Structure 1
């Protein structure tokens, strides 16, 4: 049975209770790792500078505490997996289905407009899931 590492648990603990409930339910059957929950000013500005985020500090749902966004990768994961859209899409489909079952409204960074296509996105953030206000 999949389970979170201590590092993933600590990162998830910085997230909104609905994201915690969702990811804890997902990991019961689908192995994932949490790579980011809350982001402080330095972390967010670094993500912006390196092109990993389009948002400056205060503009990202990662910046609230608790965080209204979480970054997740399938496990096992290695550096060559960053460009594997199928690997992320499979995980995202599972996460979105569980979110629907739990009544939690989330948006995935691989499909910002929610049309079930990644090909029409100008900025793709495959690990990113955020609560919809």
Structure 2
């Protein structure tokens, strides 16, 4: 069983309850890091300037409190870090997040569905988007899973 670093846990505590439920379930099976939950005005506008977001403050779901968005990705013990160049690892991780979230939603344990920044329209294709944000996930009230 894996556990969160203090940084990951602190970021998780800035997020919506549904993210807490999803992440606490997922950490039982996959080692991962939470990079960012809530983002203030300076951090949001810096993310835009750095090309990591397209939405200026206060339009990102990261800007709500608690945060409806979370940035996270796989952690590799042998690297003692995330491999930011391993997009396949991010996609595999996203699959685990989405399956976990869907199972918890169907069970009634969470109230929102989840969108991944690598597949904004949830159609299973990643190359049909000009902006791909592989660590990014959002809670949504939309019926993206066609349930």
Q: How do 1:6-21 residues align onto structure 2 when only pairs under 5 Å count?
A: 6-21=6-21
Count of matched residue positions in the alignment of Structure 1 and Structure 2: 132
Match of 2:145 in 1: none
Structure 2: 5+ residue stretches without partners: 106-111, 142-147
Q: Give the C-alpha shift of residue 119 in structure 1.
A: 1.2
Match of 2:90 in 1: 88
Match of 1:38 in 2: 38
Q: How do 1:51-130 residues align onto structure 2 when only pairs under 5 Å count?
A: 51-76=51-76, 78=81, 81-103=83-105, 104-130=112-138
**Following the alignment from structure 1 to structure 2, what is the Cα–Cα distance between the partners of residues 112 and 58?**
19
Match of 2:140 in 1: 132
Q: Give the C-alpha shift of residue 117 in structure 1.
A: 1.2
- Deviation above 6 Å: which 4+ runs of structure 1? none
Normalised to the residue count of structure 1, the TM-score between the two structures is 0.95
Structure 1: 5+ residue stretches without partners: none
Q: Give the C-alpha shift of residue 85 in structure 1.
A: 1.9
Greater relative contact order (Cα < 8 A, sep 6+): 1
